[in-house]
Amino acid sequence: MTLTLNQVLGIILTVAAVVAVTYLVLFLNQLRRTAREGERTLIKAQEAMDEFKVIEAKINASLNDVGEVLAASKKAVSGLSEISLFLTSKVIRPSSKYWPILFPLISFGLRQLRKRKEKKDG
């Protein structure tokens, strides 16, 4: 039994259609799995974003506290700067001419205090 040209073309088209449909079914099945996996990934990403928002809020609160600490530190440094300027310009420089007299007197007084403590303890 010989096949006619139309029968051979029909068989070829049928095989091609079966191959195409099989390929299409496999492709759609893989696409469905990929979509499910993508949906899971999106859910996990959303959960991570929610956690990041919580972390961001905590960091912002900490940064606000740090800003307040920095402002207080600036005030303290400014006050120390003014105090040191006052001490150097109004106390130490004018009294520097009396230091050669004051230091020996102070060291003598401290030695006398130590001797009195030693006598009381001993």
Whole-angstrom CA distances from 21 to 25, 32, 43, 47, 68 are 6, 16, 33, 39, 69
DSSP element (H, E) containing 86 = helix 5-86
According to the model, what pLDDT value does residue 7 have?
92
According to the model, what pLDDT value does residue 66 have?
85
The phi and psi torsions of 4 (rounded to 5 degrees) equal -85, 165
Residue 120: pLDDT band with limits 50, 70, 90: confident
What are 110's two structure tokens?
């401290």
Domain range summary for the chain, segments of one domain joined by +: 9-121
pLDDT at 2 over 70: yes
Q: Which of 18, 19, 15 is nearest to 7 (CA)?
A: 15
pTM: 0.44
Higher pLDDT, 68 or 1: 68
According to the model, what pLDDT value does residue 35 have?
96
92-107 per-position pLDDT tens digit: 788 778 788 888 888 9
25-84 per-position pLDDT tens digit: 999 999 999 999 999 999 999 999 999 999 998 888 888 888 888 888 999 999 999 998
According to the model, what pLDDT value does residue 122 have?
64
